[in-house]
Amino acid sequence: MKKAVSGRTSYAPERDKAREAMDPREALDILEMRARESEDYIIRNADVGSAVFEYLAEHGAPATRQAVAANPATPARINRLLADDDAEEVRAELAAKIGRLMPGLKARESEEAIALTLATLEVLARDTAMRVRAILADEIKHLDCIPRDVALRLAQDVDELVAAPILEYSPLLSDADLMEIIAGGQVRQILSAVARRRPLGEEVSDALVQSLDVSAVAALLVNPDAKMRKETLDRIVEEAEAIESWHQPLVMRADLSARAIRRIGSFVGASLLEQLVARGDLSDATRAHLNRRLRARLEQNDGESGAESAAQIVAAARAQGTLDDGFVENAASAGSRETVTLALASLAQVPEATVRKILGQRGAKPLVALVWRAHLSMRTAFKIQTSVMKLSRLFRHSCLSRYQPVFIDVHHDAAFAVRGGAGEACLGIAALRAFLAAFDFEFLAGDAELIGA
């Protein structure tokens, strides 16, 4: 540290050393930041004059030009200049602002400013960047003070993000315009936007239904302000059975005829049927019809849930190795027809439909054949006969030995009356098995007859 002539301490060498140590890139960043702060200060002051705005729009950094584009006080001539800016961010900011300038424009601006603003609007509507057009469309979608050709251009845009807001909301589009767009085979998002318009005329609704676009028709059904002819609604109802996304909005329609309500009730689920029954505009006959449908649907749902549960139980038993005589007998004793059906189909390796047909018959012969094919006991067959098929409590089965025919009557108390040429004996299951083994009997599968009441 040196002493100056005046006696004061001099820090000049230290300051020089600090300047030498500053990075050039850092210095440029500081200068640019201060320049932007100065430009932002100027832009925020509306009284700076058009010359300053013009200079910044032509020579400012992108962020500065973006700020000029967002400023409501920017003159119309500068807005028109920025509509051709190379930076998409600048044009996007201008598109967001221009829509807010349109209401009341003619009352507050000169003819020249109006003409320049409309020119800016048209340039932005033709912008090559989809983002700019989409921002503009969203800003002007409700306005009726813009040129109709601008709204129509955006409505016909190839990008749905641009076209959809105008198609759904713009008051400048006629039914003829909409029908022409529908006839052009637009993508479904575009048709759905048309279907959401409020209000919507009958002719446009007809055209949407004729397009057979599932999403568009669903949006049409949800729209309470969409007018539809009875014939158009009937056509939707006829097609709706195979299209589940139409069921809920159809049920919610207030303009359904009694015929349409009955038709809808024939294919919708129980919860939607309940909504139909709760409508206040039903006749007594229609309400009674729907209630019958609802009861039948609830019974069907219970059966379906039972079938699903039975399938899971049988699958679990098979996986655990317990799908056997005891399993089927217990299921039969409990009256679980579906479980017995699936178990027999699995054990006998036959289609479920075959088992259902056998269990639905009034004869024991097919059941006996099925039980033996499944390698189950006659006790199990008896349980199925009495608890599932609800047949007689006694059936006779014939068998052959090397010596003579023997008839075995299987009773509900698991006692077996064995009758042959040597007389008759009443045996239990264990004794019967020993008897059959001792005399080498062979059951003839399917050779059985019902006896008794």
pLDDT at residue 7, as a whole number: 47
Taking 60 as the threshold, does the pLDDT of residue 51 lie above it?
A: yes
Segment 217-237 shows an average pLDDT of: 94
- pLDDT-based confidence at 389, cuts 50/70/90? confident
Query: Who's near 122: CB < 8 A, 6+ residues apart?
Result: 147, 150
pLDDT score at 268: 87
pTM for this model (two decimals): 0.58
Instruction: Work out the pLDDT band at 311, boundaries 50, 70, 90.
Output: confident
Q: What is the pLDDT of residue 298?
A: 66
Tell me the average pLDDT across 400-429: 42
CA atoms within 13 A on the CB side of 90: 22
Mind listing the pLDDT tens digit for each residue in 5-46?
Answer: 444 444 455 545 444 555 656 655 665 666 566 556 655 555
pLDDT at 246: 94
- In contact, 217 and 190? CB cutoff 8 Å: no
Of 379, 385, 380, 378, nearest to 450 (Cα)?
A: 385
Please state the rounded mean pLDDT for residues 371-375: 90
- 392: helix, strand or coil: coil
- Residue 404 scores a pLDDT above 80: no
Residue 403 has pLDDT above 80, yes or no: no
Residue that wins the pLDDT comparison between 438 and 148:
148
Average pLDDT of the chain to the nearest whole number:
79
C-alpha pair distances (Å), 349 with each of 237, 309, 337, 343, 373: 43, 20, 18, 10, 9
pLDDT, tens digit, for every residue of 327-336? 898 788 777 7
For 127-144, what is each residue's pLDDT tens digit? 999 999 999 999 999 999
Supply the pLDDT for residue 179: 93
CB of 392 within 8 A of CB of 341?
A: no
Structural contact between residues 211 and 235, judged by C-beta atoms closer than 8 angstroms: no
Out of 12-16, 56-60, 170-174, the most confident range is: 170-174
Mean pLDDT value of segment 182-187: 77
Instruction: Please state the rounded mean pLDDT for residues 396-402.
Output: 39
Residues 34 and 28: their CA atoms lie apart, in Å, by 10
The pLDDT-based confidence of 301 (bands split at 50, 70, 90) is low
Dihedral sign for Cα atoms in the order 80, 83, 89, 95 = positive
Question: Is the pLDDT reported for residue 108 higher than 70?
Answer: yes
CA distance 331 to 323: 11
Domains and CATH numbers, the chain: 13-173 (1.25.10), 323-450 (no CATH)
Give the pLDDT confidence of 249-284 residue by residue, as tens digits.
Answer: 999 998 999 999 999 998 888 888 888 988 888 898
Using CA atoms, how far apart are residues 359 and 335, in angstroms rounded to an integer?
13
**Banded pLDDT at 405 (limits 50, 70, 90):** very low
pLDDT tier, 303 (very low <50, low <70, confident <90, very high otherwise): low
Enclosing H/E stretch for 408: strand 405-411
Angle between helices 202-210 and 188-195 (to 10 degrees): 150
